[in-house]
Amino acid sequence: MSVNNAPTKTAPAAPAEPSPATLHEPRYTPAEIEPRWQQRWAEQPNLYGAEPASSDKPKYYVLEMLPYPSGQLHMGHVRNYAIGDALARYMWMQGHNVLHPMGWDAFGLPAENAAIKNNTPPREWTLQNIAAMKRQMERIGLSYDWRNEITTCLPEYYRWNQWFFIRMFERGLAYRKKSKVNWCPECCTVLANEQVINGRCWRHEDTIVEQRDLEQWFLRITDYAQELLEDLGKLDGWPEKVRTMQRNWIGRSEGAEVTFDVEDAASVPDDELATRHAGTAVLPAREDVKSSDKKITVFTTRIDTIFGATSVQLAPEHPLVKEFAAANSALGDEVSALLEQQKKARETGDIGAIEKHGVFTGHYAINPFNGERLPIWVANYILLDYGTGAIMSVPAHDERDYEFAKKYGLETRIVILPRRTLDSTTGDRANGSIDEPMIPYTAEDSLLINSGEFNTLGNKEAQQKMAAFAEEEGFGKATVTYRLKDWGISRQRYWGTPIPMLYCEKDGIVAVPDDQLPVLLPENVEITQQGGSPLARLPEFVNATCPKCGGPARRETDTMDTFVDSSWYFYRYTSAKDDKAPFDTAAVAYWFPVNQYIGGVEHAILHLIYSRFWSKVMRDLGLIKNDEPVERLFTQGMVIKDGAKMSKSKGNVVSPDEMIARYGADAARAYSLFAAPPDRDLDWQEDGVAGVSRFLGRVYRFVIRYADRARKAEAVSSVPTSATSQALLRKLHQTIRKITVDFSGRWHFNTCIAAIMELVNTLTAAETAIAAGEVPDVVLAEIVRDLVLLLAPFAPYLSFELWEKIGEQGDLLRAPWPKYDEALAREDEIEVPVQVNGKLRAVIRVAAGTDE
């Protein structure tokens, strides 16, 4: 309606009945109700406890990602836990035996930073934060089984990190090597590849990660690359987005390695040497030219194009480049420049955009397939850490090689043709017939030319035959390369699990024996921001005895990446008090896999790939039976305010405490479910919380108003029906159906809560009829009772309060979820629109169930 004519408008205002209900009604006061129930729940420590494996209920393990104890819950946590809590409560009510645990990812850098800033020991700071956050969780009313709470920074937990580490060491899955590692100058420690995002630290998005040469401990996750990739196919309860991200991260690529000999320059006749120039030309095969002892192995996915190779390209850091540069300082300088460009590109994050530069080394490599000698170049776009750090360059059939060749005037040789080209030009393919504009021609469905005995083969077939040929001849083989690298877990920091290793002059690297575990993290450590492991400054920690020879040994002073802690924590929840083993294998066999895991998508390729790896290792150790830890994964969206993720730096943080103080925990958590579907980003609007709070108030008053009638209702065999009670029951059963169906998979809790709102709107609209006695007490009792049950997963405080008010004695959490009756939910008549030529012509009413 238009609103600009208010004066003339006569409001229908059927003199609003002085609604007796509104006069002296009790008000909904969450500030009074919620603490009272919180107190009562606290007096029943086993309220949300899972039953043992002997339970006759089907098991259901619902898990939310454990938080880092920063000291403050934020709205992202509240949302995450509200989703999990609704599910846990629903599953209990559906008759499942539910494990719903919580713990603390308690090691990590912030504790050390806080220690420096406030002069508080990391342990104390962390434990205080845990206590504070636990209080917040209890205030929110989350249904955790706290009996199996874990805190990863306590020795009872981290000793098992050490135990696992030693098991992996024994099997060669943990090893030490010197290599280039990512160094965050802000964290003063090494980072895993997964913790580097566009060349920046995952915790410091403005800090460029440096490369350093360090000796570090690695876990051989690459041993499981293939299985990690394959088993993604089994995880159909995971979001496709996460599976794709992991697939990309593992980055499998099939191809071949081919080893090129490097020509011995001394064997080249003088007349040829005189004609050599800038390394742009391929030199023909010559019997009298000998190989040196140097070799270059290249990785290629297109061995079928090897006859088209016109140069070999090395990464600036390739070991052979160092040898070449040692004898040629001018080359050394140019290579340094190339390396500099590559580093810079990595740091700025657009390595794909830098201009290609290269330099000719003056050396030639011999193509083992035809004896041709290819100039060896160094190029800034070749990465040492992918493949072999060396490639064969085929300008006619690779975009990058083409670009490079064009810039430096290298030869271009066509060795594959589109199949269709050959259909029309059946005979001579010797010189090919690709038009210049078609180059680089990279299509896979093609045929070989100019490739000696491999001519006319299809390229797929050629790839197999050529790799097989290389293997027979001993200069290559088919191989698979992964982008995934081994997981570097050494951290030069204090607040983490000590790596349980010793260095003995006589016996070398020795594991700490199991009976000496845990290697305790010392408490009296001075923490500073200066580099180097803080533990190295504690002689009483460093100096140890070799368990093999009894002689002096030096203790490892690095600690483990905190992602080790979270890689297996959910197994420990099944038996957190076990002091003989990381967990009770029988309990794990009962509870695993986790039925539903809920957390943020930011862990898609950190925690979620590490923990899959860890599970597979534990399976191979014989500890567990399951191949995968998590059956279904749900990634909830972020909480946004004013268009940006809530963060202190942006100043748009909404504190859960403040929301709870103002509207109550029920309203805050129900709003976090109502404002958006859980997998999407949620735009926080405080007025919306007020709206949900109003709704809860309407529920409260409605139920209280009829609590007496509901309580006194007596079951009767036949209920007199009226149109009103029919309509109300229909709406009720439609609502039950909607929410039940949604819990089975779709999880659009926003529409579930909307459905309850609709139900309440329908009920309030019928109050005149109810007052007039058109709805029997039994019906009213059913409606009121089911309404409270429907609300229980979303607003537990209010539900418990009303449950008691309507005279129920039993535990609401274990009360059976209401069943819907299809017959009652069905509409008697439905309206069917009839359209002709796009115009609505009529709406006809037909009995429900009428066919088309």
Partner RNA sequence: GCCGAAGUGGCGGAAUUGGCAGACGCGCAUGGUUCAGGUCCAUGUACUCGCAAGGGUGUGGGGGUUCGAGUCCCUUCUUCGGCACCA
Site for RNA in 581-610 (CB under 7 A): 601, 605
The CA-based dihedral angle spanning residues 650, 656, 658, 662, taken in that order and rounded to the nearest 10 degrees: 130
* Helical segments of 119-151, H only: 122-140
Residue 226 in contact with RNA, rule: CB under 7 A: no
Give the C-alpha distances (Å, rounded to integers) separating 530 from 186, 206, 214, 382, 562.
10, 20, 17, 34, 20
Closest distance to RNA from the beta carbon of 638 (Å) = 9
According to CB under 7 A, which one of 383, 439, 653, 825 is a site residue for RNA? 383
According to CB under 7 A, which one of 53, 197, 229, 536 is a site residue for RNA? 197
Mark 679-698 with x for binding to RNA (rule: CB under 7 A) and - for no binding. Answer: -xxxx-xxxx-xxx-xx-xx
Mark 259-298 with x for binding to RNA (rule: CB under 7 A) and - for no binding. Answer: ----------------------------------------
Cα separation of 423 and 281, whole Å?
33
Total chain residues near RNA (CB under 7 A): 97
Which residues within the stretch 385-424 sit at the binding site for RNA (CB under 7 A)?
A: 386-389, 391, 398, 400
What are the respective helix, strand and coil percentages of the chain, to the nearest 5?
45, 20, 40
Cis before 677 (ω within 30): no
User: What is the residue-wise DSSP string for 727-789?
Assistant: HHHHHHHHHHHHHHHIIIII--HHHHHHHHHHHHHHHHHTHHHHHTT-S-HHHHHHHHHHHHH
Compare residues 203 and 548 and give the one whose CB is closer to RNA: 203
Closest distance to RNA from the beta carbon of 113 (Å) = 24
Q: Which stretch binds RNA (CB under 7 A): 441-449, 578-586, 756-764, 789-797?
A: 756-764
Which residues within the stretch 555-584 sit at the binding site for RNA (CB under 7 A)?
A: none
Which residues within the stretch 63-82 sit at the binding site for RNA (CB under 7 A)?
A: none
According to CB under 7 A, which one of 381, 571, 590, 820 is a site residue for RNA? 381
3-class SS at 479?
A: strand
For 10, which DSSP code?
-
Compare residues 40 and 841 and give the one whose CB is closer to RNA: 841
Closest distance to RNA from the beta carbon of 10 (Å) = 9
Q: Which residues lie closer than 8 Å to 617 by C-beta, 6 or more apart?
A: 164, 168, 173, 224
Say which residue the tokens 């409001």 belong to: 11
Which residues within the stretch 762-781 sit at the binding site for RNA (CB under 7 A)?
A: 764-765
Residue 380 in contact with RNA, rule: CB under 7 A: yes
Residue 351 in contact with RNA, rule: CB under 7 A: yes
Closest distance to RNA from the beta carbon of 350 (Å) = 6
Residue 329 in contact with RNA, rule: CB under 7 A: no
According to CB under 7 A, which one of 71, 251, 332, 807 is a site residue for RNA? 251
Compare residues 42 and 844 and give the one whose CB is closer to RNA: 844
Give the C-alpha distances (Å, rounded to integers) separating 244 from 205, 236, 446, 535, 636.
24, 12, 29, 40, 17
According to CB under 7 A, which one of 600, 677, 776, 807 is a site residue for RNA? 677
Residue 833 in contact with RNA, rule: CB under 7 A: yes
Contact predicate 564/161, CB 8 Å: yes
Closest distance to RNA from the beta carbon of 57 (Å) = 26
Cα separation of 72 and 639, whole Å?
16
Compare residues 174 and 787 and give the one whose CB is closer to RNA: 787
Closest distance to RNA from the beta carbon of 241 (Å) = 4
Compare residues 594 and 605 and give the one whose CB is closer to RNA: 605
Q: Which residues lie closer than 8 Å to 224 by C-beta, 6 or more apart?
A: 613, 616, 617
Residue 339 in contact with RNA, rule: CB under 7 A: no
Residue 233 in contact with RNA, rule: CB under 7 A: no
Compare residues 386 and 503 and give the one whose CB is closer to RNA: 386
According to CB under 7 A, which one of 300, 492, 611, 636 is a site residue for RNA? 300
Residue 798 in contact with RNA, rule: CB under 7 A: no
Which residues within the stretch 109-138 sit at the binding site for RNA (CB under 7 A)?
A: none
According to CB under 7 A, which one of 214, 281, 422, 754 is a site residue for RNA? 754
Compare residues 268 and 760 and give the one whose CB is closer to RNA: 760
Which residues within the stretch 435-494 sit at the binding site for RNA (CB under 7 A)?
A: 481, 483
Positive/negative CA dihedral, 403, 405, 411, 414? negative
- What burial letters (b/e) apply to 176-204, b meaning 16+ CB within 10 Å? eeeeebbbbeebbbbbbbbbbeebbbbee
Compare residues 484 and 504 and give the one whose CB is closer to RNA: 484
The Cβ of residue 305 has, within 10 Å, a number of other Cβ atoms equal to: 28
Give the C-alpha distances (Å, rounded to integers) separating 362 from 258, 265, 345.
21, 10, 26
Residue 302 in contact with RNA, rule: CB under 7 A: yes
According to CB under 7 A, which one of 668, 676, 812, 813 is a site residue for RNA? 676
Compare residues 118 and 198 and give the one whose CB is closer to RNA: 198
Residue 356 in contact with RNA, rule: CB under 7 A: yes
Q: Which stretch binds RNA (CB under 7 A): 12-20, 488-496, 541-549, 713-721?
A: 12-20
Which helix (H) or strand (E) segment holds residue 390: the answer is: strand 390-393
Q: Could you give the angle at the alpha carbon of 591 between the alpha carbons of 588 and 597, nearest 5°?
A: 110
According to CB under 7 A, which one of 29, 118, 253, 768 is a site residue for RNA? 253
Compare residues 230 and 642 and give the one whose CB is closer to RNA: 642
Contact predicate 670/690, CB 8 Å: no
Closest distance to RNA from the beta carbon of 182 (Å) = 13
Residue 750 in contact with RNA, rule: CB under 7 A: yes
Compare residues 219 and 766 and give the one whose CB is closer to RNA: 766
Residue 145 in contact with RNA, rule: CB under 7 A: no
Which residues within the stretch 634-673 sit at the binding site for RNA (CB under 7 A)?
A: 662
Contact predicate 514/207, CB 8 Å: no
At 162, the amino acid letter reads Q
Compare residues 32 and 170 and give the one whose CB is closer to RNA: 32
Compare residues 49 and 697 and give the one whose CB is closer to RNA: 697
Closest distance to RNA from the beta carbon of 760 (Å) = 8
User: Which pair of structure tokens corresponds to residue 167?
Assistant: 């098991």
The Cβ of residue 38 has, within 10 Å, a number of other Cβ atoms equal to: 16
Cα separation of 736 and 652, whole Å?
37
Closest distance to RNA from the beta carbon of 251 (Å) = 5
CB hemisphere CA count around 564 (13 angstroms): 32
According to CB under 7 A, which one of 278, 832, 844, 846 is a site residue for RNA? 832
Which residues within the stretch 22-61 sit at the binding site for RNA (CB under 7 A)?
A: 22
Compare residues 423 and 831 and give the one whose CB is closer to RNA: 831
Contact predicate 144/101, CB 8 Å: yes
User: What is the residue-wise DSSP string for 564-606?
Assistant: HHTTTHHHHTTSTT-SSSSS-HHHHHHHPSEEEEEEEGGGTTT
Give the C-alpha distances (Å, rounded to integers) separating 332 from 210, 276, 316, 407.
22, 21, 10, 21
At 573, the amino acid letter reads Y
Closest distance to RNA from the beta carbon of 745 (Å) = 8
Q: Which residues lie closer than 8 Å to 664 by C-beta, 6 or more apart?
A: 30, 31, 33, 34, 693, 696, 797
Closest distance to RNA from the beta carbon of 398 (Å) = 6
According to CB under 7 A, which one of 43, 56, 205, 240 is a site residue for RNA? 240
Cα separation of 410 and 363, whole Å?
15
Q: Which stretch binds RNA (CB under 7 A): 136-144, 325-333, 433-441, 827-835?
A: 827-835
Compare residues 282 and 536 and give the one whose CB is closer to RNA: 282
According to CB under 7 A, which one of 352, 427, 810, 849 is a site residue for RNA? 352
